[in-house]
Amino acid sequence: MMALFLFLSFLALMFFGIPIAFALGLSSILYLIIMDIPLTIVPQRMFSGINSFVLLCIPGFILAGNLMNAGGITDRIIKFTNDLLGHIRGGLGLANIGSSMGFAGISGTALADTASIGSVMIPAMKKRGYDASFSAAVTSSSSTIGPIIPPSLPLIIVGTLASVSIGDLFLAGALPGLLLGIGLMGMAYLISVKRNYPKQARKPVSEVTKSFFGAFWALLMTVIILYGILGGFFTPTEASVVAVLYALLVGLFIYRDLKVSQLPKIILNSMVSTASIMILVGFANLFGWILVAEQIPVLVADTILGITDTRVLVILLVLLLLLFVGMFMETIAALVILFPVLLPVATSVGMDPVHFGVLMVLALIIGLSTPPVGVCLFVASSIGKVSIWETSKALLPFLFVSLVVLLLVAFIPQLTLFLPDMFG
């Protein structure tokens, strides 16, 4: 009964517009007061949730992404992908998706991808004759590649919760991220051919090569991070510091678009983003502790396994739950709350924790582009100046591709485990 009250109060607070972090905290505090549990448990559980050496890499990767973005990285990635793919029918749509794949290695977050690339690509696509709804749908759907291709903030959270290697998780997300990007490109091309969207003249090889070297230093950051972690040169936390130093050097001395006068604002914005994530993780850990106290993980596991113990059906039931939750809840909060609940269910049917971690992140981020509260959907629609309804309709083919990739990742474990196994 009290678990039901906890969930209902949490949903009610979200319905009235309370930010999800504070909705988690307030509903948890109400539960503690009613159950007459000392409120000293609040700071204890919050501290326990964020007291992880691995989580120290989050501010580093956020700051590195902001530095690279301010240093002109977005424009260079967009130019390279547009020069490379623009001559194909619907080339701007393909360049939009390709830019998201490149930008994913810089930001690690979907919302940053939508806002940065969308602000450039959506107006450009509309100007060239693409439908506004299509432009917004392409941007929204492709931005979900960000949390899969390393470095990924949600995968860092998974590594913390499951006590598994961040390097393994980064590697495990690479192939699904590439597969999702290629699938979205294929769908964008088919729609573009059907609607006869424009294409531009093929760029000379020399110009494509020049634009590649323009984006090279940005794309190299992902390689440095992965090679450094997998080669044992530094930990994920140390990798985030290396990424910051690298971003400073590239922005100040190679691209020269980053100005020293911009640094205080960039650092402040990074601090705000980091603080919001840490508060979210802290309150979500408190919420999760209450769930464990109420034996909700055992109840969920028994309920799912009570319906069926067939591996395929169990995985499908878990995916349906994650897709539903992803429509309403922020990805990191959902991970902190649900990952410890669902991991025993996944392992009971033989799923590897690394495989399940990537699968869970992929399922949850699909919700970022789906109504009713998909934040990437709202941002892309706002930039495109088109209604949520029109964007949602245009999004359906891309959502179909995302779901197909999700099922492939779920039932072909080697899509995630191949690279971690290969690197030992």
Q: Give the tens place of pLDDT for each residue, 86-99.
A: 888 888 888 888 88
Helices within 259-366 (DSSP H only): 263-293, 296-307, 311-326, 331-348, 353-366
pLDDT at 363: 92
pLDDT of residue 383: 84
Task: Retrieve residue 326's tokens.
Answer: 């992803």
Is residue 107 scored above 60 in pLDDT?
no
Q: What is the pLDDT of residue 424?
A: 66
Confidence of residue 334 (pLDDT cuts 50, 70, 90): confident
Structure tokens at 87: 């001559």
How far apart are the two ends of the chain, measured CA to CA in Å?
A: 47
Per-residue pLDDT band at 359 (split at 50, 70, 90): very high
Task: Please report, as a single letter, which amino acid is at residue 227.
Answer: Y
Backbone angles phi, psi at 142, to 5 degrees: -70, -25
Give the other-Cβ count within 10 Å of 232's Cβ.
8
pLDDT of residue 379: 80
Q: Which residue has the tokens 């997998």?
A: 230
% of the chain with per-residue pLDDT over 90: 24
Under 8 Å CB-to-CB from 201, ≥6 apart: which residues?
87
* pLDDT value, residue 316: 93
Instruction: Please compute the mean of the pLDDT values over residues 405-421 and round it to a whole number.
Output: 94
* pLDDT for res 409: 96
3-class DSSP state of 16: coil
* Per-residue model confidence (pLDDT) at position 182: 93
Give residue-wise pLDDT tens across range 272-283: 888 888 888 888
The per-residue pLDDT for 372 is 63
Q: What's the chain's average pLDDT?
A: 85
Tokens at 316, concatenated: 């499908």
User: In this structure, what is the dihedral angle of CA atoms 280, 283, 287, 293, given to the nearest 10 degrees?
Assistant: 140
Residues 265/32, Cβ–Cβ less than 8 Å: no
Mean pLDDT (whole number) for 125-154: 86
Average of pLDDT values for 115-141? 86
pLDDT band, residue 105 (cuts 50/70/90)? low
Distances, alpha carbon 158 to alpha carbons 217, 239, 275, 357, in Å: 28, 17, 19, 6
Instruction: Show the tokens assigned to 422.
Output: 């290969």
Q: Is the N-terminal amide bond of 297 cis, ω within 30° of 0?
A: no
User: What is the average per-residue pLDDT within 54-62?
Assistant: 81
